[in-house]
Structure 1
Amino acid sequence: MNPAKRREIFLRLQAANPHPTTELEHASPFELLVAVILSAQATDKSVNIATRELFPVANTPQKFLDLGEVELREYVQRIGLYQTKSKHIIQMCRILLEQHDGQVPQTRAALEALPGVGRKTANVILNTAFGQPTIAVDTHIFRVSNRTGLAPGKDVTEVEKKLLKFVPDEFKLDAHHWLILHGRYVCQARKPKCGACIIESLCEYKEKVF
């Protein structure tokens, strides 16, 4: 895919949604970090249902430690892998208090050192909470990047590197959100909605569905 076509893709996505953001509900970087950890292999909708009850009770590392792992599990038990996630979140809160004055760190290395935080989660926090031009690649973005020809790659790391190389700088801050929303609602896995796609004429997918 040539640079002009890539640029036009993001111009169209921007025109349709000038200020995209995560669908995970949060009121602070810490709440976002907890929500992103919970969202692994789960839907944003299921996480939001849980955190609407959880965050009014606990919304700081200390309040999570006061709540405790057993009680935390009660709030998030409908979310996949909730036991492991609860353990990681409590461990993460302890490290935030001991090493970061209770604040979410703003560097990749410090974020990835936290339990339950991998590269994708770190990218989401750096981008959404702190305004850094990172691009977290989840299953939606991986699919859209490969299917459209925007940034094809055999694994998420390769796709991330290509997106950071090919996406024009002016769009990098919001590219993550545009692509994930496009993959979630339009360029879906089983049956892409090509007939309703605003970038269909630019897409290089050979098996379009109308």
Structure 2
Amino acid sequence: MPAERVNEIIALLKKEYPDVRTALDHSNPLELLVATILSAQSTDRQVNVVTKNLFKKYRTPQDYIKTPLDELEKDIHSTNFYKNKAKNIKKLCELLVENFGGKVPDNMEDLITLPGVARKTANVVLWSAFGKNEGIAVDTHVKRVSARLGLTENTSPEKIEKDLVTIVPKNDWGLFSLLLIKHGREICTAKKPRCQDCVLNKICPSAFTFG
């Protein structure tokens, strides 16, 4: 994969989406961590509806810890798999207090020790909350768009991430994920991508192949 092509993709997407950021509403690392966990198998829009009230009620790890599990489940029930999410959130908050002084850790090694936190969630938190590039978060949009652009032939998030970090400049890792997510939502959609409106259609090997 020529570096020039990857850099061109990044430059065009940066120009198209100059103010891109995570779609999850948050005001601190704990809120982003919780919102990212809630977003699994749910839409960011729905999560933002839930967290609008949730983050007024729960401001610290201790707030989650002291709340009965069934009450937390009720507070997040409109997100899918809310029972498992509630259990993970309470447990991770206990670990934050026990192991990290009540603070969300700012490194991959510690983040992935927390319940419900895999590399994708950790990458989102590291970039959007701490401005750190330790990897590229691979969700369904990143998976789809990177494949259509010919940046990977793999299908597992772990292997896709390994492919992308070898060709995307490290300084752009966190931003690159957000750019592909935004582009996947706006233009390069799953069923009917809008190739005619795509800023990448002249350099995308998949352009105009969708009927």
- TM-score (ref. length: structure 2): 0.94
How far 1:20 sits from its partner (Å)?
1.7
State the SS of the aligned residue for 1:46. helix
- Structure 1 runs (4+) greater than 6 angstroms displaced: none
Q: Per-residue CA shift, 1:25-60, capped at 9, x if unaligned?
A: 000000000000000111001100000011001121
Q: Give 1:141 shift.
A: 0.2
Q: Distance in 2 between matches of 1:34 and 1:195?
A: 37
Note the C-alpha offset of 1:209: 3.9
Alpha-carbon RMSD across the aligned residues, in angstroms, is: 1.5
Change (3 A) 1:169 1:87: closer
In the aligned structure 2, how far is the partner of 1:170 from the partner of 1:81?
Answer: 34
TM-score (normalised: structure 1)? 0.94
- Give how far 1:67 is off: 2.5
Secondary structure in 1 aligned to 2:57? coil
Write out per-residue CA displacement over residues 128-156 of structure 1, whole angstroms, 9 at most, x where no aligned residue: 11111221001110111111112332321
1:68 Cα offset (Å): 2.7
- What is the CA-CA distance between 1:179 and the residue it aligns to? 0.7
The answer for the alignment partner of 2:169 in structure 1 is 168
Q: Indicate if the aligned counterparts of 1:127 and 1:135 stay in contact, CA closer than 8 A.
A: no
Q: Which residue of 1 aligns with 2:41?
A: 41
Structure 1 distance, partners of 2:12, 2:4, is 12
Q: Is the 8 A contact 1:144 1:187 kept in 2?
A: yes
Q: Which runs of 5+ in 1 are unaligned?
A: none
Aligned to 2:19: 19
In the TM superposition, 1:172-187 aligns within 5 A as 172-187=173-188
My pick for the range that moved more, 28-37 or 114-123, is: 114-123
In structure 2, distance between residues paired with 1:49 and 1:33: 16
Distance 1:130 1:176 in 2: 15
Residue range with higher mean Cα deviation, 119-128 or 38-47: 119-128
Q: Report the equivalent of 1:87.
A: 87
Q: Which moved more, 1:176-185 or 1:78-87?
A: 176-185
Describe the SS at the equivalent of 2:84: helix
Q: Secondary structure at the match of 1:55?
A: helix
The Cα shift of 1:124 comes to: 1.0
1:186–1:193 Cα contact (<8 Å) kept: yes
Percent identity, aligned pairs only, is 40
Deviation for aligned residue 1:18: 2.2
Q: Does 1:10 align with 2:10?
A: yes
> Is the CA contact 2:73–2:86 (under 8 Å) kept in the aligned structure 1?
yes
The count of residues paired between Structure 1 and Structure 2 equals 210
Q: Displacement of 1:207 after TM fit?
A: 5.2
Cross-structure match for 1:102: 102
The answer to whether the Cα contact below 8 Å between 2:196 and 2:208 also exists between their aligned partners in 1 is: no
1:139 paired residue number? 140
- TM-aligned CA deviation for residue 63 of structure 1: 1.1
- Relative to structure 1, the CA distance from residue 118 to residue 185 in structure 2 (aligned partners, 3 Å threshold; closer, same or farther) is same
- State the alpha-carbon separation in 1 of the partners of residues 168 and 208 from structure 2: 24
Q: Which runs of 5+ in 2 are unaligned?
A: none
Q: What amino acid does structure 1 have at the position aligned with 2:149?
A: T
